[in-house]
Each structure stands twice: as structure tokens, then as C-alpha cells.
């Protein structure tokens, strides 16, 4: 019976060691994911900040025009919802 208890204790120690290793691995994965999430969040914030404080000298002409408040060129189409701004202010007559 004493031998049985020794074997049982060894098995319990093995199980505890495996369990502790799994817990350590799980915590390491949690930390890794949290760091990755923080890195992504920081990169997104940096990109937003860069957009707020854009240097006009590094922009192309379209971006410069848009930032100055000119908007984007409509490509020669008429204004209005349907693209047919007739200037008479009405809808389909």
C-alpha cells in the first residue's frame, strides 16, 4: 500500500507540474495578445494624429486641395444628387 501512495503522489506532482505549465503558457499568451492589441491601438492613434497634423508639403495636389477646404473635384459632372444640375432648381420636368 505504501508503494501505491508513492505512485499516487508522483502522479499528482506530474499533474500539478503540467497544470502549472499550462497556466504559465496561458498567461504568456494573454500578455502577448495584450501587447499586440496595444501595439495596434498605438499605431492607429499615431496614424490618426499624423492625419490631423499633416504636412502640406508631403501631400499630393488632391490631398492639399481637400485639406484647404476645396473638396474633391466632381470630375466635370453636374451637381445635384443625380448629377444633372440644370440650374433651374427643379427636379425632373
Higher per-residue confidence, 33 vs 82: 33
Domain ranges of the chain: 2-67
CB atoms closer than 10 angstroms to residue 59: 13
pTM of the complete model: 0.44
pLDDT band at 74 (very low <50, low <70, confident <90, very high): low
Give pLDDT, residue 64. 76
CA distance 93 to 91: 6
Give pLDDT, residue 91. 53
CA distance 79 to 88: 12
pLDDT band at 41 (very low <50, low <70, confident <90, very high): very high
Amino acid at each position: 500500500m505504501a508503494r501505491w501512495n508513492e505512485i499516487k503522489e508522483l502522479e499528482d506532482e506530474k499533474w500539478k507540474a503540467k497544470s502549472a505549465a499550462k497556466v504559465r503558457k496561458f498567461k504568456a499568451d494573454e500578455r502577448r495578445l495584450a501587447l499586440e492589441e496595444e501595439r495596434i491601438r498605438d499605431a492607429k492613434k499615431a496614424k490618426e494624429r499624423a492625419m490631423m497634423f499633416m504636412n502640406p508639403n508631403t501631400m499630393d495636389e488632391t490631398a492639399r486641395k481637400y485639406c484647404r477646404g476645396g473638396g474633391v473635384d466632381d470630375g466635370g459632372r453636374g451637381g445635384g444628387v443625380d448629377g444633372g444640375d440644370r440650374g433651374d432648381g427643379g427636379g425632373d420636368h
